[in-house]
Structure 1
Amino acid sequence: MPDLPTARPRIAALPAYSRAAGAGSVRWRASSNESTVPPSPAVVQAVARVGAQAHLYPTLAGDDLVEAIATRLGTSPDQVVVGGGSLAVLQLALTAYTGPGTEVVHAWRSYEAYPILIGIADAQPVPVPLDGEFRHDVEAMLAAVTERTSAVLVCDPNNPTGTTLPPQRLGELVAGVPSNVLVLLDQAYCEFDEQDPLDVAALVAEHPNVVVFRTFSKAYGLAGLRAGYAVGSAEVVAPVRNSAPPFGLSAAAEAAALAAWADAAHTAEIVATVTASREAFRGGLAERGLHTPDARGNFVWLPVGERATELERLCVRHGVSVRAFAGEGVRVTVGDPDAEAAVLAAVEDLLG
């Protein structure tokens, strides 16, 4: 066989994104933090309309969606970037501001895509263990910042543990990062957090080195269409936008996001479904002797340690997929009482 092209060593060594066991064969999926409520009827209608014009390009940079987001959040359009999911926009930010010889500080365990994205940018990940309550350890993260640090990545609510920092502690973390270091605040699950919502416009005005990332995949029910956005100071956001390819957000995704953004009642229905299921599920786990950390996303973290993969197998046997992190715990998406009942039955099997 002839020699073939070889990838950059850093790319060849990237970790693979995990797959949930049994996801294609089970009755219920509680492994990917998808909404259990279908999207708004307005979304379905908007996608159908755009489908009839699929021969035309979308707006160059998601222009209509940028305008709608800026209007609601009280920022200017040049402070907003949209793309194919918040993860895609986060990749743009890492591309613009990190690279060889730089480090990105992030909590761990946190979102498993972070080391992949940081590696693609050819930066060095610096994982900082969570504290005893499965939250970001503010002091440890600040202590990990060095002259090589180009960014600090904060996931709040944290995936997969579901925990948040109290507003004061989050403020201490942001304020403690040097102004020449980027703070990437990933808030993919913020709509499910019952604390007072973060004033994004005020935060980035006070701390221009902060960029906030949010998604339409979770509380807006658009996981299959891929739309997300970032908000920051205009000066910091400009290189992020310049890193994006033209027409990076499909016409279908933009139309769907605009329709979902406008249908506040449907978003509230998705959030209410999640918060009610989340507390009932945590109560059921506690009754069975399994206590879980405070959950603020659309999922619950089961800290079963070395028995994580065993619990995952038992869940599949009961007809539901979950996401196991070997040696640490299991993440369960909430919103479907039948799926949660299947997980509770598996927990009973596990704990005897």
Structure 2
Amino acid sequence: MTSDQLLTAPDTVLPALRGAVAGLPSYVPGRRSAGMDIAALASNESHYEPLPAAAAAVAEAASTMNRYPDSAAVELRERLARHLGVTAGEVAVGPGSVGVLQQIITGLCDAGDEVIFAWRSFEAYPILVELAGARRVHIPLDEAEGHDLDAMAAAVTDRTKVILLCTPNNPTGVPISHERIEVFLQAVPSSVLVVIDEAYVEYAEAGSGPDSLALYRRYPNVCILRTFSKAYGLAGLRVGYAVAAPTIAEGLRRTALPFAVSALAQMAAVASLDAGEEMEARVAAVRQERARMAAHLEARGWKLKPSQGNFLWIRADGSLRASLVDAFDASGILVRAYQGDGVRITVADSASNNRVLRILEAHAA
């Protein structure tokens, strides 16, 4: 019997997926470049080539690909601890910040427990929550495209285990101030883990968002979540990390898939931390381009919220959104469109950014 006959046999009963998996929405990745003149601005990747030190570390590590990596990521955790002023026991690593977030939700949530997050925010949040059998509680963004912390605090119940605060928020770019998060933490039970997701923190202007390490030192139910995928340019290697109270961090390490972070990724991350000045110079250039684009668009009638990520958020629904996506597609520019909400555009090199500006000028109010 062929595989086709097996699938079409009337008496064939195949193994059933869990209900939570069968109904799970798929994560929609940013569209990929398929040509030399395509501007790939959909995934918020760094448009720079890898840091030379990171590329050299990968080349050196390549000769050890036949060996398993250090599953405990001791060298990377110790280097991160020195970088952040914490102990290695407070650090957990995983395959990107989304991998660490899965470890967080798996480690803290039983079936029926609740995870609160703003919406719209990072699209992986509801997927990871439902996969764990937990219940997602999403709170609409406020009029400023940011987190409604009062509503989020009011949504806490005795089943709430985790709250996710994305700052700067993806996809809107709006940060949450230190003062607002501190007031929020005072209103939230200490038994609830508050995850400050800072995937884009390196791109934020100083003082625009929280001093998350200071908050963590004062509130032990805070967990900081970061990644090497964005500013450090290691999106293809998948390495992120969390800073949490030692007992929480140990739990995250226990829930991690063994050997999930490759030796290449670990060595590249360590080398990237050692090349911090070069990374900061690249980030400064992105900030400069972000400000230039925003000023240009605002002068032509676009009303933008100040973004602190490496992207701009264009609030657009209905015909405007469709028109923008069509225009970008026709011009070979890949952007991230969100059904009913808007368009997110990665800030890249000046030539690509100028192509974006020309499209948006033609659609200005």
TM-score by length of 2: 0.93
What does 1:205-244 correspond to in 2, within 5 Å? 205-244=217-256
Q: Give me the whole-angstrom Cα distance separating, in 2, the residues matched to 1:13 and 1:340.
A: 38
In 2, the alpha carbon distance for the partners of 1:172 and 1:32 equals 33
Q: Distance in 1 between matches of 2:33 and 2:323?
A: 16
Q: How many residues are matched? A: 352
Equivalent of 1:284, from 291, 296, 303? 296
> 1:162-173 residue pairs with structure 2 within 5 A?
162-173=173-184
Asked if 1:64 is matched to 2:68, the reply is: no
Shift in alpha-carbon separation, 1:141–1:273, aligned structure 2, 3 A: same
CA contact (8 A) 2:313 2:342 kept: yes
The whole-number CA distance in structure 1 between the counterparts of 2:134 and 2:228 is 27
Distance 2:183 2:24 in 1: 32
Q: Is the 8 A contact 2:119 2:141 kept in 1?
A: yes
Aligned equivalents of 1:277 and 1:201: distance in 2? 28
Q: Structure 1 pair 199/77, CA: closer, same or farther in 2 (3 Å)?
A: farther
Any unmatched runs of 5+ in structure 1? none
**Counterpart Cα distance in 2 of 1:23 and 1:107:** 30
Decide whether the 8 Å contact of 2:179 with 2:210 is kept in 1. Answer: no
What amino acid maps onto 1:347 in structure 2? Answer: L
Displacement after TM superposition at 1:178 (Å)? 0.6
Cα distance in 2 for partners of 1:298, 1:173 equals 26
Q: Is the 8 A contact 2:31 2:40 kept in 1?
A: no
Supply the distance in 2 between the matched residues of 1:23 and 1:134 (Cα, whole angstroms): 29
Alpha carbons of structure 1 residues 22 and 44: separation in structure 2 relative to 1, 3 Å? closer
Segments of structure 2 that go 5 or more residues without pairing to the other structure are 1-6
Q: Is the contact made by 1:273 and 1:335 (CA closer than 8 Å) also made in structure 2?
A: no
User: What does residue 3 of structure 1 align with?
Assistant: 13
Pair 1:183-2:228 in alignment: no
Superposed counterparts of 1:90-105, under 5 Å? 90-105=101-116
Give the C-alpha shift of residue 19 in structure 1: 4.3
Shift of 1:205: 2.5
Looking at structure 1, the residues matched to 89 and 101 of structure 2 have their Cα atoms a distance apart, in angstroms, of 17
What one-letter code is carried by the residue in structure 2 that aligns with 1:217?
A: S
Give CA deviations for 1:134-176 in whole Å, capped at 9, x if unaligned. Answer: 0101111101111111111110110000001121112112222
Structure 1 counterpart of 2:248, one-letter code: V
Query: Is 1:13 matched up with 2:26?
Result: no
Which one-letter code corresponds to 1:14 in the other structure?
L
- 1:341 aligned onto 2:354: yes
Please give the root-mean-square deviation of Cα atoms over the aligned residues, in Å.
1.6
Question: Which of these residues, 278, 291, 316, is aligned with residue 329 of structure 2?
Answer: 316
SS of residue paired to 2:363: helix
TM-score (norm 1): 0.96
Once the two structures are TM-superposed, the CA of residue 246 in structure 1 deviates from its matched residue by 2.3
Asked if residue 123 in structure 1 is aligned to residue 138 in structure 2, the reply is: no
Please say if 1:43 is aligned against 2:16.
no
2:335 maps to 1:325 = no
Deviations 1:319-341 (A, max 9, x none): 21100112111101002222222
Contact 1:200 1:231 in 2 (8 A): no
Distance in 2 (CA, whole Å) between partners of 1:21 and 1:89 is: 24
Secondary structure of the structure 2 residue equivalent to 1:332: strand
**Cα distance, 1:351–1:212 mapped onto 2, change above 3 Å:** same
Is 1:300 aligned with 2:312? yes
Q: Which amino acid aligns with 2:216?
A: V
Q: Which residues of 2 match residues 106-185 of structure 1 at below 5 A?
A: 106-185=117-196
